[in-house]
Structure 1
């Protein structure tokens, strides 16, 4: 009986994890070199995503596994925080007064719809299953209960809290 085993089950692709967040130089089978910080590595295809910051412009390079000849760490310091800041969605900055006004409007909305909540410092909690964090918008609702989460988010979306 002949059996086929995919390469992912033969190779240990987890050894590549040590390169994530590191400044590396990648050499291809065509003897081309690319430098950058490893953002991620696909565990299935073992393709490497390199991030480069040239003249203030961020670029992404994908190096496919089949052309990879060598990868060498140039700088052992971890650049993960910098990478996360590049790809994170920037928060809109609100003044303390704007946040307090939004909080008051959300509390009025919850009262109007008879939704019981508890105010703890800056967080509004509903039945210990949902939290609304500053600046009290739809994106700041956190819950493991998807039904409650969607209902509270739709409630917040129905009224302008700005």
Structure 2
């Protein structure tokens, strides 16, 4: 494939010369990066369009993934090789996540919903997700770490209620 991005670091800011569309096309693709007279091949996790830093994922000898950060000023060229062998969703998937059967998921959701409502929390169901207005969501498997909210006070109160419910078993 043709070279998609070419770097030539100068004292002027490259941010005004970069093409973010081309940079985005590189994400989750295998590339060859030349920097400091070295060559490295890996999968692009992300590219910072301001600093031109590239985060590459490379499989090591133990079949684990190493993350290499290459700073923009050191990059001489970035060449697209092709599709990646990695599936991003699988790489960062939590290995401790419990996969539940639909029946178990439904039972947990109903139990938590009833518990929160008995504690005067106006929780509603939207598919598999429990919601408190637009402030908080609780996703399967409906545990302490499955609560998401930007409001730390509400998040803490709901998490404390979940802990109390689990202690009550």
TM-score (norm 2): 0.69
**CA spacing shift, 1:105–1:53, aligned 2, 3 Å:** same
**TM alignment of 1:1-162, pairs within 5 A:** 7=13, 10-12=16-18, 14=20, 15-30=22-37, 32-55=38-61, 56-75=63-82, 77=83, 79=84, 82-90=87-95, 91-96=97-102, 98-119=104-125, 122-127=128-133, 129-143=135-149, 147-160=153-166
Q: Within 2, Cα distance between the matches of 1:19 and 1:119?
A: 38
Higher-RCO chain (CA-CA 8 Å, sequence separation at least 6): 2
- 1:104 CA drift (Å): 4.5
- 1:85 CA drift (Å): 2.1
**CA spacing shift, 1:117–1:70, aligned 2, 3 Å:** closer
Name stretches of at least 5 consecutive residues in structure 2 with no aligned partner. Answer: 1-10
For the aligned residue pairs, the C-alpha RMSD in angstroms reads 3.3
- 1:51 CA drift (Å): 0.8
Q: Within 2, Cα distance between the matches of 1:115 and 1:80?
A: 45
| Aligned residues of 1:13 and 1:46 also touching (Cα < 8 A) | no
